[in-house]
Amino acid sequence: MNKPYEDIQEQAAQAAAGLPQARLTAMHWGVYEAVGSGDALSLRAFARDPAPSPIGLSMPDAARGPLRVRRPAVRQSWLAWKEGRQAGAARARRGQDPFVEIGWERALDLVADELARVRQAHGNASIFGGSYGWSSAGRFHHAQSQVHRFLNALGGYVRHADSYSLGAARVLLPHVVAPIDELFTIHTSWDVMARHTRLFVTFGGVPAKNAQVSSGGATEHLVPGGLRRMAEAGVRFVNISPVRDDIDTGGEFEWLPIRPGTDAALLLAMCHVLLAGNLHDPAFLASHCVGFERVAAYLRGETDGVPKTPAWAERITEVPAARIEALAREMAATRTMLNIAWSLQRSHHGEQPFWALVTLAAMLGQIGLPGGGFGVGYGATNMIGSDNAKFSGPTMPQGSNAVADFIPVARIADMLAAPGTPFDYNGKRLTYPDIRLIYWAGGNPFHHHQDLNRLLGLWQSKPETIVVHEQFWTPTAKLADIVLPATTTLEREDIGYASRERYMVAMRQLLAPQGEARDDYAIFTDLATRLGARETFTEGLDARGWVQRLYDEARGRAAKVGVALPGFDTFWQQGLLDLQQPGAEVVMFADFRADPAASPLGTPSGRIELFSERIAGFGYADCPGHACWMEPVEWLGSSKAAEHPLHLLSDQPFTKLHSQLDHAACSRANKIKGFEPIGLSPQDAQARGLADGDVVRVFNARGACLAAVRTSAALRAGVARLSTGAWFDPTDWRACGPGNLEKHGNPNVLSLDIGASSLSQGCSAQTCLVQVERYTGPAVVPTPYALPTFVGKPPDQP
Ligand SMILES: Nc1nc2c(c(=O)[nH]1)N[C@H]1C(S)=C(S)[C@@H](COP(=O)(O)OP(=O)(O)OC[C@H]3O[C@@H](n4cnc5c(=O)[nH]c(N)nc54)[C@H](O)[C@@H]3O)O[C@H]1N2
Ligand SMILES: Nc1nc2c(c(=O)[nH]1)N[C@H]1C(S)=C(S)[C@@H](COP(=O)(O)OP(=O)(O)OC[C@H]3O[C@@H](n4cnc5c(=O)[nH]c(N)nc54)[C@H](O)[C@@H]3O)O[C@H]1N2
Ligand SMILES: [Mo]
């Protein structure tokens, strides 16, 4: 365990219980109490959190630190073009040009003028305002919502659909069972599982590292305690995962080290065992599901000549056939909860493991019974499995978008590459729009997107203008034309809330805005004023007015479902609302099970669709009408593994949230000589003559990066783990293709940028083969946190 993690456990143990009168703030990874102020401000663990995360403790240092964007900045060639001093904006110089720092008035004039020009010349459908990204906790200042509302007030923008988190599953699940946002809030709770579940089988663990966060603010960390209570109650755990250490029950568990990307085959083989052994539940399948016969024919091999037996699955998954057979029988004999990590659907054909999981759970017939059925993401964020009050919390209204065009979020590079080209998505035939201006606030595409060398080339050649609001000089900020400095959560007031979290938090302003940073809301208000949309954007309210309005609206919605919240003044004065519901019993689909006619699902049939006529009707070769196994384009069983024999898992980092705070203490304590660690099994390290701390080149045909070896017996052979979030640090900011060595350890120079399928077009980051070798080139020092150069200022010394 890392030092920051030991320290915060101790701090929490020492912290006094009782309602803190303290000034609180909320971040995605937790609530923190303020100590001191100004330059002496620090944070400490929230006394009521049993398992606080150290990630947020770095926030005051980061907020005051050297990487803040302190003044509005414009890229030199872009400014020369805009001012008529130069014919073009030299877009290819994005990332290389120095910036010119300018005053706010001038910066806002430039942005407003450029928005007006692009709208007039090319229409609102040439503005990409998808602006995907997690932003910060705080329901009002949520940057992505702010951009959307602002651009809607101007007549609309090209938006994105779905998320990087859940591309494939988000599109699939409404056809099959229920929308994923609905599923999140109805997961069977930890306490119910401790009492009723006997066997918990998970694909991809229940990673407590990931449950450090909830989007909007984790408040009481539940997952470590939930797992322990289950283990103490005698629940048996089986973790099917390429890595062993993505679950910690406090006790023993069985690990089945599966080949990455093959879970659908394993699940289908377990379905086959149930079918062949007559261990499935025909009554449940008849009363609550549709299409089982079509799946059964596939399992028996009637449709493709291949029975989906355990022996068949062993060849694909490398999990022994005898164990597959026995485990399926154990499931049928006892109360079993199945779980799946979201990472499994962030892959080519990523719909299939999710659909197969629902199919297996339906055949077991325990859906809707306490402790049985399935979960889609225990451990993916803190709130899943929580039984705190459920209501729709404070949300910034985004207005309505007059532009119909959108892209599935992970298709941004395809959009830039091929405007006017048609593509498939969820039964529709859509066309990529022609984008001239990109507007981003609250996201980091040079963190989140796949195949970054490809994105870099398109980013530098296609859009005429790129505007970014940022707190820090991230790679995306460095690659923008205009960068406007945004405040952090510490510098503003807001409400911390996430669905099913225990507390709602009055977030205090704890620091004065640093440098000339302004709230995104204030920036958009001034731009809207210049563009004649002030009233539409602000509705006459200032930030405090909005915070109160969002609270009052949520209070009304809460009252409708029987949750009584006090008036705003009481909330604000108290600082914290406790939303625990003593005695709550959350059992997913209990009502549907009890009476499927009275409580139907939202699927076309109202039942669980093991075969979907609707999806089959789309006619996609890469996503037929029922769960099936299809080879991904890259996996350890493919011929491509001869050249690139390691499957690269780019999982979520335990020391930060995505790229946020990569530059801060908790994340930096985990680096080796400034490089991101890459996990290798002892066998794979030995076969390459590598030892801990060695610097390696990780490469495939898409790109190459450096990283430092950290061997781990928790990894199966053939699998490498390079967590996401290391700031993109190319040798050359010019788009010079896969030879451009990334010096820090960003896995997205290696990952694959294709849609999961024609159905979802979800991100396929986990489908990725690489090779690893000792780095023997000239000595390299990573420089991810170097500032850009500024005209008239000495260059930064990293
Ligand atoms: N290879 C690989 N890639 C992945 C994944 C993977 O598993 N493997 N996972 C994917 C997933 S699930 C996700 S969700 C994405 C995450 O991708 P992102 O959500 O884009 O990542 P973040 O690092 O959270 O970026 C948020 C940015 O917003 C800035 N920010 C924070 N608060 C504010 C604010 O108030 N105002 C403004 N203007 N800016 C703010 C932060 O400084 C930061 O730069 O990554 C995806 N990428
Ligand atoms: N600390 C921290 N927590 C986070 C985040 C973060 O950045 N930092 N990000 C948040 C976000 S936005 C999201 S979307 C969630 C994501 O939650 P997930 O997508 O579930 O998270 P991952 O860590 O990518 O993967 C979970 C586990 O799945 C395993 N796995 C990968 N591929 C396979 C496979 O093919 N088969 C099997 N059986 N297992 C596999 C990985 O080894 C890993 O241990 O996490 C959230 N939580
Ligand atoms: Mo995510």
Q: What is the pLDDT of residues 256-301, one digit of tens each?
A: 999 999 999 999 999 999 999 999 999 999 999 999 999 999 999 9
pLDDT value of residue 2: 66
Atom of ligand 2 nearest to the CA of 650: 24
**Cα–ligand 1 centroid distance for 725 (angstroms):** 9
For CA atoms 583, 183, 141, 529, the dihedral sign is: negative
Atom of ligand 2 nearest to the CA of 341: 20
**Residue 766: which of 269, 257, 168 has the closest Cα?**
168
**Cα–ligand 3 centroid distance for 323 (angstroms):** 32
**Helix runs in 639-711, H state only:** 665-668, 682-687
Any ligand 2 atom below 6 A from CB of 661: no
Angle between helices 351-364 and 263-276 (to 10 degrees): 20
Any ligand 2 atom below 6 A from CB of 259: no
Cα separation, 442 vs 488, whole angstroms: 11
pLDDT value of residue 246: 97
**Cα–ligand 2 centroid distance for 214 (angstroms):** 13
Ligand 1 atom 16, closest CA? 448
The DSSP H or E segment spanning 263 is helix 263-276
Cα separation, 585 vs 196, whole angstroms: 12
CA distances to 367, 493, 507, 519 from 527, rounded to whole Å, are: 51, 21, 26, 13
CA 651 to chain centroid, in Å, comes to 10
**Residue 585: which of 223, 186, 177, 232 has the closest Cα?**
186
Any ligand 1 atom below 6 A from CB of 146: no
Ligand having the closest approach to the CA of 442: 1
Copy the structure tokens of residue 652: 């979520």
Mean pLDDT of all residues in 142-148:
97
Copy the structure tokens of residue 656: 């930060």
Those residues whose C-beta lies under 8 Å from the C-beta of residue 569, and which sit 6 or more positions away, are none
Any ligand 2 atom below 6 A from CB of 649: yes
Cα separation, 394 vs 496, whole angstroms: 9
Query: What is the tens place of the pLDDT at every residue in 751-776?
Result: 999 999 999 999 999 999 999 999 99
pLDDT value of residue 796: 62
Ligand 2 atom 25, closest CA? 343
CA distances to 257, 312, 709 from 689, rounded to whole Å, are: 24, 35, 11
Those residues whose C-beta lies under 8 Å from the C-beta of residue 532, and which sit 6 or more positions away, are none
CA distances to 218, 311, 558, 687 from 563, rounded to whole Å, are: 20, 52, 5, 59
Any ligand 2 atom below 6 A from CB of 660: no
Cα separation, 31 vs 24, whole angstroms: 7
Residue 759 in contact with residue 171, Cβ under 8 Å? yes
**Helix runs in 516-645, H state only:** 520-530, 534-538, 543-560, 568-574, 590-594, 613-618
DSSP state of 715: B
Pocket mutation for ligand 2, best pick of 241, 319, 658 (most atoms within 8 Å of C-beta): 241
Any ligand 2 atom below 6 A from CB of 767: no
Ligand 2 atom 46, closest CA? 210
Those residues whose C-beta lies under 8 Å from the C-beta of residue 117, and which sit 6 or more positions away, are none
Those residues whose C-beta lies under 8 Å from the C-beta of residue 312, and which sit 6 or more positions away, are 265, 269, 306
Residue 336 in contact with residue 198, Cβ under 8 Å? yes
Atom of ligand 1 nearest to the CA of 471: 42
Mean pLDDT of all residues in 353-363:
99
Pocket mutation for ligand 2, best pick of 210, 212, 213 (most atoms within 8 Å of C-beta): 210
pLDDT value of residue 794: 78
Q: Mean of the per-residue pLDDT values for the chain?
A: 96
Those residues whose C-beta lies under 8 Å from the C-beta of residue 449, and which sit 6 or more positions away, are 410, 412, 413, 455, 748, 753
Atom of ligand 1 nearest to the CA of 751: 1
pLDDT value of residue 793: 83
Copy the structure tokens of residue 473: 């000089």
Band the pLDDT of 398: cuts 50, 70, 90: very high
Starting at the earlier edge strand, list the strands of the sheet with 494-496.
494-496, 503-507, 576-578
Band the pLDDT of 21: cuts 50, 70, 90: low
* Beta strand pairing call for 695-699 and 704-711: antiparallel
Q: Is 777 left (phi over 0), alpha (psi -120 to 50) or beta?
A: beta
- Residues with catalytic annotation? 132, 134
Cα angle 638, 639, 644; round to 5: 90
Residue written as tokens 């788009």?
735
Say if residue 701's pLDDT is above 70.
Answer: yes
Band the pLDDT of 20: cuts 50, 70, 90: very low
Cα separation, 25 vs 456, whole angstroms: 36
Residue 712 in contact with residue 681, Cβ under 8 Å? yes
Dihedral in degrees, nearest 10, Cα atoms 105, 106, 108, 114? 160
3-state class of 343 per DSSP?
helix
Any ligand 1 atom below 6 A from CB of 288: no
Mean pLDDT of all residues in 371-376:
98
pLDDT value of residue 798: 43
Starting at the earlier edge strand, list the strands of the sheet with 236-240.
254-256, 236-240, 199-203, 336-340, 373-375
Farthest-apart Cα atoms in the chain, separation:
78
Copy the structure tokens of residue 544: 């405090």
Residue written as tokens 């009168």?
21
CA distances to 13, 395, 490, 571 from 44, rounded to whole Å, are: 12, 28, 14, 22
**Cα–ligand 3 centroid distance for 166 (angstroms):** 7
Query: What is the tens place of the pLDDT at every residue in 709-722?
Result: 999 999 999 999 99
Mean pLDDT of all residues in 298-316:
98
Beta-sheet strands, E only, within 181-333: 199-203, 236-240, 254-256, 289-290
Mean pLDDT of all residues in 333-350:
98
CA distances to 115, 119, 342, 434, 479 from 463, rounded to whole Å, are: 13, 14, 32, 9, 12
Cα separation, 551 vs 391, whole angstroms: 12
Residue written as tokens 């609905």?
182
pLDDT value of residue 18: 47
Band the pLDDT of 795: cuts 50, 70, 90: confident
Residue count (the chain): 798
**Cα–ligand 3 centroid distance for 164 (angstroms):** 6
Band the pLDDT of 207: cuts 50, 70, 90: very high
Which domains, from first to last, does the chain contain?
179-388 (3.40.228.10)
**Cα–ligand 3 centroid distance for 85 (angstroms):** 43
Dihedral pair phi/psi, residue 570, rounded to 5°: -65, -45
Lowest-pLDDT range of 215-219, 603-607, 757-761: 215-219
Beta-bridge partners for 506: 495
Any ligand 2 atom below 6 A from CB of 771: no
* Beta strand pairing call for 677-680 and 719-721: antiparallel
Residues whose beta carbons lie less than 5 angstroms from ion ligand 3? 165
Say if residue 63's pLDDT is above 50.
Answer: yes
Cα separation, 692 vs 33, whole angstroms: 38
Say if residue 797's pLDDT is above 60.
Answer: no
Query: What is the tens place of the pLDDT at every residue in 622-659?
Result: 999 999 999 999 999 999 999 999 999 999 999 999 99
- Helix and strand numbers (H, E) in the chain are 27, 29
**Helix runs in 657-712, H state only:** 665-668, 682-687
Residue 418 in contact with residue 434, Cβ under 8 Å? no
Atom of ligand 1 nearest to the CA of 768: 1
Any ligand 1 atom below 6 A from CB of 442: yes
Any ligand 1 atom below 6 A from CB of 135: yes
Say if residue 3's pLDDT is above 80.
Answer: no
